[in-house]
Chains A and B, each alone.
Chain A
């Protein structure tokens, strides 16, 4: 990691002599980090605050910065809503399957694009990219029609298929970029040892590209987790609807239950971050350690 530290100096302003620059660099570095962390988490903290205050404090003018009379009312409203708990499960299922599908199909395609020789490569890649960037708002009505013809509507698959199609380009492009950067010698060595293309891919490339694969997984999962427009159009009842569809419905015709929405927002964000963190440590460190040894 020594080189990484040195690389870091770059982020700081280059001034004066080496040592002073090192110190100043460290200070600037930490200031930058602290500001960044604060800006990143402040809105979530504020939303958490909104979830534990009374309705009149929520709308206090001027706003209060520290909760005056904390209450758990919003939280109990959320947890006493059976639809919300079902929605959490549905979100996990939809995002989970989407991620697995994207990584499976995406990494195979990416490997072939990054490593193997064939014509139409750019054409295929650009096509996948462009189609998936057709504006979603324009595509939902015809997609609805198409999905209802084959009976996907109001099943998990409607959301999973749509999410997968729109997440695949990112997965493929990302993995292509990562696979390309990997040294070829290991793979070639494997092939000299008699491994097939697929074996070389599975045994050598995937472990080496672990940081990239894992990053792609996180990004895909969260993208699917946050999808609203497909789920809202294709899924009809609480047995399939994910959290993004349920939360805005903590509301009436003329009213919005901001307290419950805030609590629910915290519930769908924080565990996700914690889970990713745990997984990140385990998987990335485990795999990269293995790869370095190999």
Chain B
């Protein structure tokens, strides 16, 4: 940080910025995280951006081609399919997770019989590693022997095998993801609820506000920062979904990340396009984060 400060000493506001001990302390405190992330991720990200602007294959980098790889990527039907599936998956799964997660958080933020059990149950899906649960889910969705297939057939919900029908598979992915990450949402929101001071509610009750009013006027606004963080992270995480699509659907469904994986790690010739897709995910995720921060008013500190 010192070097940065030195380099720009000429400007007045910078002097002020780094002159005060409080502000310097702030920079020192942020610096480690900033450096760790930068040191590890900077090279791979820049490398991908560089490769996405060049031709060639996985092993030989070709000449500079500008945005040509991006153009071919957008025309690739697998990429288009991946984009559509990813958007549907992200919107649907995050919505379900948020609604149920909020309900669960409200429910377990109180004392009742069996609360310990419920809290333990909440953690089960989240603690179950996806690399393994995806295999198990696939088995349960299988025709003839899979328990979910069997029950769904018996109830008349489905008429064709789940694993070879892309529509059913997308629904299955959304539900499995909701199963897995609703606990994440619930835990985060619960922690948020616990930091809301009791006296705020007391005051509202004294003023005669009913439960719904208290929920809308107190809980939601006070919970908003936590909600935004939880939804933002779930959205970004769902947006780059990979193992669920790759393992559970047996590569029948394409997501943006499976497209990247196929192109970068399996294919030789599609390598530059794969890097373009990775950069595309990166840029769109960035825009998404910006949307949350600017438009939804996700404040980043108590000050600004």
- Chain A interface (Cβ < 8 Å from any Cβ of B): 1, 3-11, 14, 29, 32-33, 36-37, 39-41, 43-44, 46-47, 50, 58-63, 65, 105-106, 108-109, 111-119, 121-122, 124-143, 146, 161-162, 164-165, 168-170, 172-174, 176-178, 180-184, 197-198, 209, 211-212, 214-215, 218-219, 222, 225-226, 228-229, 243-244, 247-248, 256, 258, 261-262, 264-265, 268-269, 272-274, 276-277, 280-281, 288
* Contacting residues, chain B, for A65 (C-beta < 8 A): 147
Are the CB atoms of B242 and A136 closer together than 8 Å? yes
* Contacting residues, chain B, for A60 (C-beta < 8 A): 145
* Contacting residues, chain B, for A197 (C-beta < 8 A): 22, 25
Give the shortest distance, in Å, between B300 (CB) and chain A (any CB): 5
New A-B pairs, 6, CB < 8 Å, besides A40-B121, A176-B301: A127-B37, A131-B38, A174-B229, A258-B139, A264-B132, A265-B132
**Which of A125, A177, A256, A277 contacts B120, CB < 8 Å?**
A277
- Complex Cα gap A118–B16 (Å): 10
Per DSSP, are chain A's interface residues mostly helix, strand or loop, or mixed? helix
Are the CB atoms of B29 and A108 closer together than 8 Å? yes
- Complex Cα gap A117–B25 (Å): 10
* Contacting residues, chain B, for A169 (C-beta < 8 A): 37, 233
- Complex Cα gap A144–B236 (Å): 24
Per DSSP, are chain B's interface residues mostly helix, strand or loop, or mixed? helix
Are the CB atoms of A139 and B44 closer together than 8 Å? yes
Give the shortest distance, in Å, between A163 (CB) and chain B (any CB): 11
- Complex Cα gap A115–B304 (Å): 10
Asked, given contacts A37-B117, A161-B40, A265-B136, whether A226 binds B130 with beta carbons under 8 Å apart, the answer is yes
Are the CB atoms of A43 and B129 closer together than 8 Å? no
Closest 6 CB pairs of A and B: A138-B278, A112-B29, A228-B131, A116-B26, A142-B44, A215-B191
In the complex formed, the residue of A with least CB distance to B236 is A133
Give the shortest distance, in Å, between B27 (CB) and chain A (any CB): 6
* Contacting residues, chain B, for A273 (C-beta < 8 A): 120, 123-124, 127
